Structure 1
Amino acid sequence: MERNPTIKNYELQEIAMGLTFVGGFMDAYTFIQRGGVMAAGQTGNVIFIMSDLVDGHWGNVFIKLMTMLSFMVGISVTNVMNYKLQPTKLHWRVIPLVLEIIVCIVVGFIPTSASNLLVTPPLAFVMAMQISAFTHIDGRTYNSTFTTGNIRNMVNGFTRGIVANSSDDMSKGVTYTKIVVSFVIGALASALIQKVVAIRSIWIAAVILGLILAYYWFIVRKR
């Protein structure tokens, strides 16, 4: 299939859908297996922190705060990488993918008896790098770990497409539908796989990320 030359390598639909699958997979994993913490969904963590504060669960509050801090650091680090490496010929977006794969593999070995401080902050860091490095799909902004904004864009696209009879807006609606569905399938797959292999289910995310990395590198070298 001939690709639009104006679309950057990291904006391809296949990559965006794969990363969004991982986003849904990861939040379901940390919520179910790792103490009800969201690795990427910081809105959820804010709500959970308020609940833990009221109930006096100070340990849970600290873990969630460290997770949120790690998420912010991940965003900052990725911005620095973009600023420093973008002018070079280095395809720097490979780095967040490699780090994410490594963290997922290591986390799969950490038992549930260990503190979640060893789990959710590192995952939040690499998930923040993912959403900061891969920000667009076909030239449109999206989020590979949160679904609220993607749902809004999906509905806006279809609504405006119907009202204004706009094929471009309808195309936008279809694009965001793919992203929303990918997130849902990722979360569902995670919940189902966890019933079989529990904490090691995160290795599935590592495999998916490895495939995305290989595909991204293939496209980069080909184009």
Structure 2
Amino acid sequence: MKIQKQMSESMMLAVVLAIAGGFMDTYSYICRGGVFANAETGNIVLMAINLSNNHISKALQYLIPITAFALGVVVSEIIRLKNNEQGMFHWRQISLLIEIIALVISAFMPQSMNLIVNSLISFTCGTQVATFAKFNGYGMATTMCTGNLRSGTQSICQYFIHKDKNQLQKAFSYYGCIAFFILGAVIGKYTSDIYNEKAILVASSMLLIAFVMMFVSGKK
């Protein structure tokens, strides 16, 4: 029996989003001041270090992308709660459009505005994490790897202990997401070297592909 499944939870879409996620992290590091804008753990630690050293103004600089990430989560949740699924677009597509616009704006900002650019990328990642939290029935992130590495490794252990092939498939899904994140990072490195600030348009194009893909209904 064929069961209707949202394309927004398919592994095919996870692949596209993971490539975009890896690209954004590499771009922010290479082109925008040597920072990783996707996950906020580093920013929180650096903010705490500067607070402990009484460098208040510098600590507040790290608070901006942290707040932007949280704002992205808030925006995603508002869109989800307010959307009645009766319009032309799925609520997740609306979130993607906002992400695309944020990245396109980033492409035309100079180096003097790196803090704003990294905040826009953090906002995009917060929106993406909150909007696309599950693929193929598995909780999975496409803008960071730590959780996927943990879950994939746990599944491998479960497979060797219980010989459950479903756990092996689950592990491949998590490790596959990490692999495509790495691919996105590699693409980000080479395109950033060539196109500099404008390279982020590649990531926005990947999100546009994801947007178009969601017009197709998945089948399980």
Q: Check whether TM > 0.5.
A: yes
Q: Match for residue 161 of structure 1?
A: 159
Superimposed CA distance per residue, residues 167-194 of structure 1 (whole angstroms, 9 cap, x where no aligned partner): 1101101111111101111122212221
- Structure 1 runs not aligned, ≥5 long: none
Q: Displacement of 1:6 after TM fit? A: 5.2
Is the 2:18–2:142 contact (alpha carbons within 8 Å) kept by the matching residues of 1? yes
Query: Is contact 1:15-1:212 (8 Å) kept?
Result: yes
State the shift of 1:147 in Å: 0.5
Which residue is equivalent to 2:125? Answer: 127
Following superposition, the deviation at residue 135 of structure 1 comes to: 0.9
Cα distance in 2, alignment partners of residues 48 and 17 from structure 1: 31
Distance across 2 between alignment mates of 1:198 and 1:186: 16
Pairs within 5 Å for 1:17-166: 17-53=15-51, 60-85=58-83, 87-90=84-87, 91-112=90-111, 114-166=112-164
Query: Equivalent residue of 2:214, what SS?
Result: helix
Structure 2 distance, partners of 1:212, 1:133, is 13
Q: 1:60 to 1:23 in 2, by over 3 A?
A: farther
Moved over 6 A (4+): 54-57
1:189 is matched with: 187
> Would you say how many aligned residue pairs link Structure 1 and Structure 2?
218
Unaligned stretches of 5+ residues in structure 2: none
What SS does the aligned partner of 1:143 have?
coil
Q: Matched residue of 1:77: which SS?
A: helix
Question: CA–CA distance in 2 between the matches of 1:135 and 1:92?
Answer: 14
State whether residues 26 and 189 of structure 2, in contact with CA within 8 Å, keep that contact through their aligned partners in structure 1: yes
Cα contact 1:7–1:139 (8 A) shared by 2: no
**Structure 2 CA distance, aligned partners of 1:74 and 1:99?**
10
Structure-1-length-normalised TM-score: 0.88
Identity of aligned residues (%): 26
Q: Over aligned residue pairs, what C-alpha RMSD do you find?
A: 2.4
1: CA distance between counterparts of 2:85 and 2:160?
43
Q: Kindly state the Cα deviation for residue 57 of structure 1 after the two structures are TM-superposed.
A: 6.2
Once the 2 structures are TM-superposed, how far is the Cα of residue 116 of structure 1 from its aligned partner? 2.3
Structure 1 position 35, deviation (Å): 2.0
1:5, distance to aligned residue in structure 2 (A): 2.1
Counterpart contact for 2:9–2:137, Cα < 8 Å:
yes
Aligned partners of 2:5 and 2:219 also within 8 Å: no
